[in-house]
């Protein structure tokens, strides 16, 4: 027997919580639909592929992506250096 989810009242929720709940429900629905319908999954995959291809031609998107990657790897580098110093200090202590 399939497990059913009980309904949850939305009365006490803030707008942000309602929005998050709706997003989560939509993701579950789409994941289930892709799993059950291979033709739909193929269409979605092709759509995403085409959309990404169009974005790669947009200079604003590329600049934004470069800035994000630069910030991300700078943060990683700083975390790595901090970890090295921590390990070094623990070995000396």
> 53 and 25, same structural domain?
yes
Q: Is residue 26 part of a domain?
A: yes
Q: How many domains does the chain have?
A: 2
Percent of the residues in the chain that have a pLDDT greater than 90, as a whole number:
77
- Both 63 and 93 in a single domain? yes
Same domain, 50 and 30: yes
Question: Would the pTM of this model clear 0.75, i.e. be above it?
Answer: no
16, 25, 31, 32, 34 from 40: Cα distances, Å: 30, 18, 11, 11, 6
Q: What is the pLDDT of residues 61-74, one digit of tens each?
A: 999 999 999 999 99
Range of the domain at 73: 59-93
């Amino acid at each position: 027997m399939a497990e059913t989810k009980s309904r949850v009242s939305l009365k006490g929720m803030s707008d942000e919580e309602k929005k998050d709940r709706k997003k989560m429900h939509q993701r579950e629905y789409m994941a289930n639909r892709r799993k059950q319908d291979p033709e739909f999954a193929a269409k979605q995959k092709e759509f995403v592929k085409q959309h990404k291809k169009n974005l790669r031609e947009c200079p604003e998107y590329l600049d934004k992506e470069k800035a994000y990657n630069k910030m991300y790897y700078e943060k990683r580098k700083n975390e790595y250096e901090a970890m090295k110093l921590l390990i070094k200090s623990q070995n000396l202590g």
